[in-house]
Structure 1
């Protein structure tokens, strides 16, 4: 089975003024990676509750984050040939991805779609419990973009197996 490419974004918070702080991918071969994003000077929104979830401080982003243009180029390099990737939070992730590319002065060379489009009703019925079982089984660190993207991919794979679609 060829696995879909999954994308996940961690952000400074939700709603107006929020921006992407980390983007992660799970590739079709099962490998995954993530990049922290250096906030632009005008990106000032910061929700301490979001920081409690992802554990990434603004100071760390300034220190270890990659420039917006570099992250947008990397995404286009990684996803341009594939052409499509999927997210379980399409509404949020698409907004943050658009913001990233807008500020990079670039257009994405790929499309982001909702993961829901790939799932059968039987997969959906098993999704939550399967995801929770994988977190427990593999000790996955949640709310980090690379790990979350891989978790989604593994959940997709296992729900296909459980429903005889593999």
Structure 2
């Protein structure tokens, strides 16, 4: 199924891929108009998990989060100001876990619903997603595993795959 409007996309980077102990360290959003927003997240006092392997992938140190991250409550507030309705991700199991962990630590509820990008796509589009995503990454030349970049990649992949109202060249940078 295709969506009549360009959706918003969200991506998280995390302390590890452990779905028991991990927590979000960065969140990025690409809105329908292509505008980007991202925040480094200061670890909540109860969040202690850390993976050196994950750090090698995303390049964000725990010290950077402590020095530059903003509070879970401020991040959740910013997300609620920007987002409503369905917001799409490409790793629903992980992203929903990290979204829940963020909002629970903030003692808030999201003003939007997290959905899998697959809900927007036909079976044929799902089959083409990975190849188009790889091409988008090459065309944009953005480093992956940073939340804002990955949200932009989702947005541009969706536009390319669905021949959306805009093209990747019309997306704001």
TM-score bracket relative to the smaller structure: over 0.9
Specify every segment of 5 or more residues in structure 2 that has no aligned partner in the other structure, as ranges. Answer: 165-173
The aligned residue for residue 145 of structure 2 is: 143
Q: TM-score scaled to structure 2, two decimals?
A: 0.89
Secondary structure of the residue aligned to 2:43 is coil
- In the TM superposition, 1:129-140 aligns within 5 A as 129-140=131-142
User: Among residues 57, 61, 82, which one is paired with 2:65 in the alignment?
Assistant: 61
List aligned pairs for 1:13-162, cutoff 5 A.
13-15=16-18, 16-79=20-83, 82-161=84-163
Q: Deviations over 1:55-100 (max 9, x none)?
A: 0000000011010000010011111xx3220111111111111111
Runs of 4+ in 1 over 4 A off after TM superposition: none
Report the number of matched residues: 160
- Gaps spanning 5+ residues in structure 1: where? none
- TM-score if structure 1 supplies the norm length? 0.93
Contact 1:87–1:115 (Cα < 8 Å) also in 2? yes
CA-atom RMSD, angstroms? 1.3
Measure the CA separation in 2 of the matches of 1:104 and 1:41.
12
CA drift of 1:130 comes to 0.8
- The Cα of 1:161 is off from its aligned counterpart by 2.3
| Distance across 2 between alignment mates of 1:124 and 1:114 | 11
